[in-house]
Chain A
């Protein structure tokens, strides 16, 4: 690459590069490396279609669209961006993999493994991004590479933690309830508060339905923090049906009766938001969307809301955390332009602006942003800042791969919890989960 950029330019190349450079200078925002040293004439007049999930933080979606349009104008590429509801992304991606029609797409954790044969190798581009940012966060390194290669550039992941009502936690006698950053709870302590709150008519809420965010976000960490995991460290056996986890599941079943809204088995990602904002529950595991929505529509609730880190168990504290990646499809007719766009968008000027505007809703992908001033604007968002250091991947203690993605998409771990609270038989539920995992992993 270096060789290519340093070679002498022909007269034609000089003119086209110069013209593009003048245009760029006129716009005033394009970094020098934007086209990776290649003349934009290579990609000029082409088209790029981009597929992303809809944003909870609307200004970030608007900004992204603007950035895409801006680059399109500068590079002479016609850009189309499509934002879809989260659950609708996968059928669209599956069709694009088969038939084309989309060039760049935002992949959810695990999908980089599922579509590995259809994605362009972006190792060089991703390594550059990581290097520039002082290295990727460990959770990104755990989950972003497929067989040692980056098949997409990691862009981070949306956050989650325990939202709670300050005044009600005070009533329940929780010390330092005013400041969630000073609260460090175990699961037993958290369940004890739930019991008190349910007695007061304000139970905790937890979604245990088939939904992509909150149910696995809660169940996997609870499993890990109580000593169980999907696979053993050598990857040869299932380490799910462990006596300590069966005990922990019994405690969860009891806590569900004593402290939770028991309709949670049918909840999806949106139900706990609604229950919290309508003041039916006092705490729940969720992204910061509850807090942001309250700031907009229910300022009193926002004022009375704080966050704590997910509770810890005997084995420690964990979050299910894997990165989303921005990938290029191999069947794209415009891989060169897609690469140029990604190189430009992952520059600090673009990416960091986009990331900061989300005010902590989206976790950083590189270490340099871990102490970014954005994190210190609102102390109620500080628990989210700490999340990356506790991140584990699906399939742990094995590596993330297609089998882990399959087990995740079948909701085996989540269904184990749902079966346990529905039947009241923790042991049978964990045995069922272990059997299902055995089939999914083929061990």
Chain B
């Protein structure tokens, strides 16, 4: 048993470190929440305890919904994130399975190539991608992001899934093949149901990356109501050298909800999915 049998020992070995990590990890959310619930005046008032709300207000949330296009930003971010994630997952499943199971000339080279593509930073890619987007007439449309986000998502998700697929015993697939299954049937009926944790990990990773992405959203889709949350927040709540802290934090709190909910539902699968490829079974 971890941490010994006595309560004192367990407190020292488990509960205290856990409490420390809990405070460390949750403090940013706590800070965001209390700042979003304070009037602007109180944010600069040093006589008040900064770690507590003295005068409660929902004014910052009201501002967010009445004076900005926040609901539009949420809608845009959601559409782009969901569609990009689905496209990336479909592509990554096919790539990951092919790299894990099929033997074809150049497969190793292709695997390394895909991984190297992941290492190219978006700051280098955004200029040539901008030319492609404008030439295709996709500027300031959902497709601009839906088609560019997978360039970042597919390489990582493919490698993650490739690692996961390799943990599934080949014998299961060979048995299915002996029973008359085609490759595609094996993938859909055997491999994918066994890979739910891996798929969830890749899905959550992709969704989170899309949800928080800034540079491409700024360059390709930032006009008027077409902004995503990260771009809308900084362009509408930071005016020159003045930051509207209350509304910024309110949008950060609301913007974190979908990701937090996603993680809380699937955290167990997420961890096992991430670590499955790490140790060869």
Contacts and interface: CB of A to CB of B under 8 A. Distances in A.
Given A99-B133, A278-B45, A54 B127 contact: no
Given A56-B240, A99-B134, A92 B46 contact: no
B256 interface: no
A56 B235 contact: no
Interface residues of A, number: 41
B215 interface: yes
Contacts of A100: 134
A214 B240 CA distance: 11
Contact of B235 (A54, A91, A278): A54
B57 interface: no
B238 interface: yes
B44 A274 contact: yes
A371 interface: no
A277 B241 contact: no
A293 B240 CA distance: 12
Interface in B186-229: 215, 218-219, 222-224
A214 B242 CA distance: 13
Which of B128, B135, B235 counts the most A-chain CB atoms under 10 A from its CB?
A: B235
Contacts of A158: 240
B236 A297 contact: no
Contact of A82 (B46, B222, B242): B222
Contacts, number: 97
Interface string B128-147: 10110111000110000000
A80 interface: yes
B40 interface: yes
B239 interface: yes
Interface string B235-259: 1101111110000000000000000
A254 to B, nearest CB: 28
B126 interface: yes
B240 A92 contact: no
B234 interface: yes
Given A82-B222, A82-B223, A91-B218, A270 B239 contact: no
A356 to B, nearest CB: 18
A280 interface: yes
A395 B26 CA distance: 48
A98 B241 contact: no
A74 to B, nearest CB: 20
Given A99-B130, A289-B242, A91 B219 contact: yes
Interface string A60-94: 00000000000000000000111111101001101
Which of B131, B236, B240 counts the most A-chain CB atoms under 10 A from its CB?
A: B240
B223 A80 contact: yes
A273 B241 contact: yes
A49 interface: yes
A54 B236 contact: yes
A95 interface: yes
Nearest to A214: B241
Interface string A88-110: 10011011101111000000000
A297 B40 contact: yes
B194 to A, nearest CB: 43
A274 B131 CA distance: 40
A364 to B, nearest CB: 18
Nearest to A58: B239
Given A49-B223, A101-B140, A298-B44, A84 B218 contact: yes
A152 interface: no
Interface string A377-402: 00000000000000000000000000
A180 interface: no
Nearest to A211: B241
Contacts of B218: 84, 88, 91-92
B46 A278 contact: yes
A190 interface: no
A58 B245 CA distance: 16
Interface string B56-87: 00000000000000000000000000000000
Which of A83, A95, A101, A277 counts the most B-chain CB atoms under 10 A from its CB?
A: A95
Contacts of B135: 99
Interface in A306-323: none
B6 interface: no
A333 to B, nearest CB: 11
A157 B271 CA distance: 52
Interface of B: 40-41, 43-46, 126-128, 130-131, 133-135, 139-140, 215, 218-219, 222-224, 231, 234-236, 238-243
9 contacts: A54-B238, A56-B242, A84-B235, A95-B219, A99-B133, A99-B134, A270-B238, A277-B44, A278-B44
What 5 pairs across the A-B complex have the smallest Cβ distances? A269-B241, A56-B240, A99-B130, A95-B130, A278-B44
